[in-house]
Amino acid sequence: METVLFENAPTAEYTVPADATSRTVVAGICGVCPAGCGVNIHLADGRIERLTPLRDHPLGFVCPRGARAAEIVYSPDRILYPQRRTGARGEGKFERISWDEAYDMLVGGLRDIAAKHGPEAAAIYTGRGNFEFGLCEAFGPTRTSETSANAVLFPFGSPNSTGVGALCYASQGMIAPRACFGEHLRGMYEDLDNADLILVWGSNPATDSPPGNMRRLKAARKRGARVVVIDHRRSETARALHAEWLGVRPGTDGALALGMLNIIIGEGLQDKNFARDWTHGFDDLRDYARGFKPERVETITGIPADTIIELARAIAAAAGCSFLMYTGLEYSDSGVQAIRAVWTLQALTGHLDAPGGKLFRMPDRPRTGRILTEPPTGSRPPLGADEFPLYRQTRNEAHASCLPRAILDGEPYPLRALIISGASIITAWPDPEHWRRALGALDLLVAVNRFPTADMAHADLILPAATMFETQSYMIHDGRIQLRQRVIEPRGEARGDYLIFTELARRLGYGHLWPQTEEAMVERALEGTGITLAELRANPEGVDFPVPKMRHRKYETGELRADGKPGFDTPTGKFEITSEWLRAEGYEPLPVYVEPSEGPLANGATAGHYPLVFNSGARTQSAFRSQHYNIPSLVALQPKPQVTIHNADADARGIADGDPVDVVSPRGRVRFWARVTGDIARGAVEANMGGGGPLGSEAWQNANVNELTDPDNYDPLSGFPVYKALLCDVVPAPPAGRKKSRNRYFPAGKSAPAT
């Protein structure tokens, strides 16, 4: 039976019936996002009513999204049944089918495409919706950290697993640390509990998922630690902690780090023993950093020279100094090198694997058993292997930015099938129109998700994924493992992502590579830990591991290398300021600064027409990336997409707080509503990401910020798009009479596959 798409309409907020006859409380894990917060799940007649924090849990939190868990789980927008396309692509017509019919279509399509083009013509793209811990440990490619769940097509013969790692985390989490330390960032953490100086640099822990670092920051402030926020915005973190704020020009973080290194080295404030015995390239850095005198760095970054000098000396003098960073540095032309410059600053001032600094996790800490799947041997290289070799070597997967060329041009070879699971490509990547054309040109597009996405307009097959409240898995925090209980049965015919993948593997002929039930998956992970599934069930709040006592400066004792030799797991065995890995791959080995190519200093001609520095990517409390714009009580927290602009910049344009405005760039024009404030660096703006999907208000549906970004502007080391440090302007919106819908992903009046 053909399904007619529903009209755009506000969804009703979910409420538990007042006459519920039974209420129970289950200790477990929040299922709204993959963070793994410990919660009590309150059930009324077997349905989720509300969540409360689990006391004495490493992450006992309920964030604004977790507080709306019932509204999300029971939303009428949930996709509950498999569906296949019946009309033309983009027409939005689907019919409900059985799971057997869906798998016959999927498996048959993959085999037909492999027979014609080779198995490499099929790919899978996974997103944040697939970051559930156990799923990633089961379906992560070898050599990655636990942030991928896309290896299911490796045994099929395709090397083209890919996902959101191509635009988030891998730059800071894998490429930069491998170049410096020979280790992934998952193997390190900041010792905030013992730091007396903390730099929150391009990060906003107040909106993190989970918000564990914010709890530690508050405790640090309470005991007297100094916190400095380096960001183009006075973020929620800065305001909540009453922290010092340095409003840096976006994209210039590397210059700031090099300026402080110049001061530290010039004044002899570095840890001389570490610099002499444990670094490679110190002399090269000293010579290069001389070009970053405080006055020049002030011109580049907008931060006063005296402030730069004072902070550099404070870092060197601190007993313990931690650095919290994230996408604020990743999303620039030289994100990897900027991150390396900051870590070099931390290392040379004595704060590497030292109390209050960046600690390497203990190598003898307890671990669960991952299922490590190797890419196929003898196949063609994954897409993007030549363009982004560092990414390929660290992530062991294709680079997603290279998919459209393979689909539309057949270069370097054709890509004809794509599975998109737990992700929304069209709202995530620059030039959504180009992605729309690419998705529409595939022979087979399969979307796996809990809610409709913009990508689904072009899908041949839609599969309903269960929420994490409806699945069983496990979560590990330092010192504790906890069972993710299935607290409610999946709605409709939704299935957990793990079961969707294992059934696909079974039908493709290699199901034996993975346990075939969620329970068996957990039992497989527990092998060798001394903990059983029965023990986890009997202790729903989690079972504590014995945690080894922290040992510092492990590079001196051979604990960071597999061969047991002192040093770091790098080509030289030292902390590589000059990276021999980067050199071997043809990149600049020093952490050099590159002025943003579309910035006011490097591109004065463009800046004359677009005088403001554009930024996007800051998290909000009301949404999770591109999710939840259809949840009424969350949308009420911010009903319209906003662009934050400084008071002086708004006054010069005749813009008042709350005015409708258009953000314009050399690539497009998108409608936002102005948030006028002094909490942003003058000359910079921050536009909300996540809009452009088929759900929620018209304002959010039409606000795809990536119509403003540039697919040809990226960090050459990681391939990450530049979502910050571009140029734009903000202008008053034209008169209301010129209003028209710009949501091109579903027909007028239709918004998504029916549920």
pLDDT tens-place string over residues 545-601? 888 899 999 999 999 999 999 999 999 999 999 999 999 999 999 999 999 999 999
pLDDT of residue 378: 84
What 3-state DSSP class applies to 680? strand
Helix locations, 89-174, DSSP H: 99-117, 133-139, 170
pLDDT over 90 (residue 1):
no
Separation between Cα atoms, residue 207 and residue 200, nearest integer Å: 13
pLDDT score, position 208: 84
Q: How confident is the model at residue 738 (pLDDT cuts 50, 70, 90)?
A: very low
User: What is the mean pLDDT of the segment spanning 152-162?
Assistant: 97
What does DSSP assign to residue 476?
A: E
DSSP assignment of 168-193 equals: TTHIIIIIHHHHHTSS-GGGEEE-GG
Residue range 217-245: mean pLDDT, rounded? 97
**Mean pLDDT within 155-166:** 95
Kindly compute the dihedral angle of the four CA atoms of residues 701, 705, 710, 715, in this order, to the nearest 10 degrees: -120
Confidence at 7, pLDDT banded by 50, 70, 90: very low
Q: How far apart are the first and last CA of the chain?
A: 13
C-alpha 671/C-alpha 480 separation (Å) is 46
- Residue 214 main-chain phi, psi, to 5 deg: -65, -40
Name 586's Cβ contacts closer than 8 Å, sequence gap at least 6.
none
DSSP state of 373: B
Q: Which residues of 250-270 are buried (b: 16+ CB within 10 A; e: fewer)?
A: bbbbbbbbbbbbbbbbeeebb
What pLDDT, on the 0 to 100 scale, is given for residue 683?
98
Q: What is the pLDDT of residue 14?
A: 53
Residue 15 pLDDT: 60
The pLDDT assigned to 623 comes to 78
To 5 degrees, how large is the angle CA 485–CA 490–CA 492? 175
Q: How far apart are CA 516 and CA 521, in angstroms?
A: 7
Average pLDDT score over residue span 205-229? 93
Q: The tokens of 377 are what? A: 């041997």
Is the Cβ–Cβ distance between 219 and 205 less than 8 Å? no
Given the structure tokens 């170049």, which residue do they identify? 179
Total residue count of the chain as it appears in this document:
755
Domains of the chain, earliest start first: 8-73 (2.20.25.90), 83-166+368-544 (3.40.50.740), 192-356+555-584 (3.40.228.10), 604-738 (2.40.40.20)
- Residue 726: name the closest of 674, 671, 683 by CA: 683
Helix axis angle, 305-317 relative to 253-266, nearest 10°? 60
pLDDT for 57 equals 92
What is the rounded average pLDDT for all residues in the chain?
93
- Quote the CA–CA distance of 347 and 577 in Å, as a whole number: 10
Task: Categorize the per-residue pLDDT at 204 as very low, low, confident or very high, splitting at 50, 70 and 90.
Answer: very high
Q: Tens of pLDDT along 481-502?
A: 999 999 999 999 999 999 999 9
Q: How many CA atoms lie within 13 A of 290 on its CB side?
A: 7
- Pairing state of beta strands 612-615 and 724-732? antiparallel
How would you class 52 by CB atoms within 10 Å of its CB: exposed for 0-12, middle for 13-18, buried for 19 or more?
A: middle
Instruction: Please say if the pLDDT value at position 469 is more than 80.
Output: yes
Quick one: average pLDDT of 725-729?
Answer: 97
Residues near 165 by beta carbon (within 8 Å), at least 6 away in sequence: 144, 147, 148, 395, 397
Q: Which residues pair with 242 in a beta bridge?
A: none
CA distance 450 to 492: 11
Is 560 strand, coil or helix? coil
| Distance (Å, whole) CA 624 – CA 726 | 24
Q: Which positions ≥6 away from 134 have C-beta within 8 Å?
A: 473, 474, 475, 484, 498, 521, 522, 525
Helix (H) or strand (E) holding 484: strand 480-484
Spatial distance between the Cα atoms of 743 and 432, rounded to a whole number of angstroms: 11
- Tokens representing 652? 């010069």
- The pLDDT of residue 16: 59
The token pair at 207 is 């909106």
Which of the two residues, 347 and 546, has the higher pLDDT score? 347
The Cα–Cα gap between 586 and 310 comes to 36
Mean of pLDDT values over 289-303: 98
Peptide bond into 540 cis (omega under 30): no
Angle at 563 between CA 562 and CA 569, to 5 degrees: 60
Q: How confident is the model at residue 742 (pLDDT cuts 50, 70, 90)?
A: very low
Chain segment 665-708, per-residue pLDDT in tens: 999 999 999 999 999 999 999 999 999 999 999 999 999 999 99
Cα-to-chain-centroid distance, residue 85:
30
Angle 321-326-332 (CA atoms, 0-180°, nearest 5)? 120
Element (H, E) at 358: strand 358-360
pLDDT in tens, 97-116: 999 999 999 999 999 999 99
Token pair for residue 178? 């491998």
Tell me which residue of 592, 683, 668 sits closest to 287, measured CA to CA. Answer: 592
* Torsion angle defined by CA atoms of residues 224, 230, 231 and 233, in that order, rounded to the nearest 10 degrees: 40
Among 260-269, 351-360, 521-530, the range scoring the smallest mean pLDDT is 521-530
Pairing between strand 197-201 and 685-687? Answer: unpaired
Q: How big is the chain by its Cα radius of gyration, in Å?
A: 25
| Burial (Cβ within 10 Å: 0-12, 13-18, ≥19) of residue 340 | buried
Residue position matching structure tokens 């690539």:
667
SS3 state of residue 123? strand
pLDDT value of position 3: 33
Helix, strand or coil, per DSSP, at residue 592: coil
DSSP assignment of 568-595: -SSTTSSEESS-HHHHHTTS-SS-----
Largest CA distance in the chain: 76
Q: Is the pLDDT assigned to residue 735 strictly greater than 60?
A: yes
pLDDT, tens only, 304-344: 999 999 999 999 999 999 999 988 999 999 999 999 999 99
Task: List, as one string, the DSSP characters of 39-73.
Answer: EEEEEETTEEEEEEEPTT-TT----TTGGGHHHHH
Residue 369: pLDDT band with limits 50, 70, 90: confident
pTM of the predicted protein model: 0.94
Tell me how far CA of residue 495 lies from CA of 463, 466, 467, 499, in angstroms.
9, 5, 8, 7
Mean of the pLDDT values across residues 432-436? 97
pLDDT band at 210; cut points 50, 70, 90 = confident
pLDDT at site 17? 63
pLDDT, tens digit, for every residue of 615-670? 998 888 777 778 888 999 999 999 999 999 999 999 999 999 999 999 999 999 99
Task: Name every residue whose Cβ is closer than 8 Å to that of residue 530 and which is 6 or more positions away in sequence.
Answer: none
- Contact between 623 and 629 (Cβ < 8 Å): yes
